Amino acid sequence: MLTKSTLTRPLEEESETVPLKRVKTCSVPTSMQRYLQLGLPMDKALVKSYTFFAPLPSSSESGETADGFVLGVDEAGRGPVLGPMVYATCFCRESYYSTLTQMGFADSKQLNETQREELFDRLQTEQTHVGWSIRCISPQDISHCMLRRTKYSLNALAHDATIQLIRDVLEKGIRVTKVFIDTVGPPQSYQKKLQELFPGIDIVVAKKADSLYPIVSAASICAKVTRDAHLNHWVFAEPGMQKMLSMAYGSGYPSDPNTTKWLRDSVDLVFGYPGIIRFSWSTCTKLLEDRAAKVVWPDDEEKPKAKSKYFSKPTDTPRSKFLNRNKSLILASSL
């Protein structure tokens, strides 16, 4: 049985769907090839968002997944001005959770790249007990959502990605009994929303959940490794950009000097930036205003009239007066 002490980290440790591909071993090169072998589409331009599922946990003998599962959700890339935002789930059997806790999972931001990749590879060798999935939201989709007429906020986008991932796991027959989520916005209202959507599951939404619950830490690592892989092997959708632009864009955060330098050096006077950029970020908007060609949109020759223009005002002459006047003129002319 899982208790609060087994689900949380010990106090001293607190300081378009891609087809499934089963991975028998994680001994692949540290390059694009290792991600292609997992089934992640690193060799294609990331224009449309996609969902990816690693092989589902199953008993090596019976293939059943009737055990109860603990599931964690976290993200990577919420704040950067470029690259995708990745939401990830990691889920494991309740009976295996104590083993997962001893593997050294921690908030991905507290680990270096080598440590993250080693833990990520370790997950691929535990497929009998552990599964994971990601929802990779492309920069273009983020821009579209946040710049459309009816604004679709980043929080709403994050909530919907989380809900979709949980639903997808349930639809694949995984019996989830407990969910831990790193909060987006106020934890109380978010938890209430999720609990109403998934009434049969015990849901915990907490701040810094990636530091408290190892299953959330594992999800954090899946999200971070996937995002980093996309950035390290980015395929530009725009013809010729692969050779024209430097790949030294850093982490993508506006506070990163490498990122700000790349943004300054890479702006095109006419076309602005390629699709790796989130155009809804103020960092991008300001640079385009300062460095790109000015665009002035001339007013339409005839501005559309307000709807009120088509209705008479209370002070206007009543229509009946005109009708009576015209009637009198007709009668007079017939005499």
Mean pLDDT, all residues of the chain: 83
Task: Report helix, strand or coil for 70.
Answer: strand
pLDDT band, residue 29 (cuts 50/70/90): very low
* pLDDT value at 130 more than 50: yes
pLDDT bin (cut points 50, 70, 90) of residue 15 is very low
Would the pLDDT of 324 be above 80? no
Q: Provide DSSP, 158-207.
A: HHHHHHHHHHHHHHTT-EEEEEEEE-SS-HHHHHHHHHHHSTTSEEEEET
User: What is the model's pLDDT at position 246?
Assistant: 87
Top-confidence range, 25-29, 223-227, 267-271: 223-227
Per-residue pLDDT band for 27 (boundaries 50, 70, 90) equals very low
pLDDT 10s digits, 45-95:
999 999 999 999 875 344 445 689 999 999 999 999 999 999 999 999 999
- What angle, rounded to 10 degrees, do the helices at 139-147 and 154-171 form? 120
Please, are residues 208 and 194 in contact by the beta-carbon 8 Å criterion?
A: no
Going by C-alpha positions, the residue among 114, 108, 76 that lies closest to residue 253 is: 76
Where do the domains of the chain lie, and which CATH numbers do they carry?
4-232 (3.30.420.10), 241-291 (1.10.10.460)
pLDDT digits (tens, 9 = 90+) for 89-122: 999 999 999 888 888 876 667 788 889 999 999 9
Whether 31 has a pLDDT exceeding 70, the answer reads no
What confidence tier does 1 reach under pLDDT thresholds 50, 70, 90? low
Say what the pTM is: 0.78
Greater confidence, 31 or 198? 198
Structure tokens at 13: 């440790």
Listed in sequence order, the residues at least 6 apart from 21 whose beta carbon sits closer than 8 Å to its beta carbon are: 37, 38, 39, 55
Stronger pLDDT, 214 or 335, i.e. the higher one: 214
Between 142 and 7, the higher pLDDT residue: 142
In terms of Cα–Cα distance, which of 139, 115, 126 is closest to 279? 139
What confidence tens digit (pLDDT) does each residue in 207-250 have?
Answer: 999 889 999 999 999 999 999 999 999 999 998 888 888 889 99
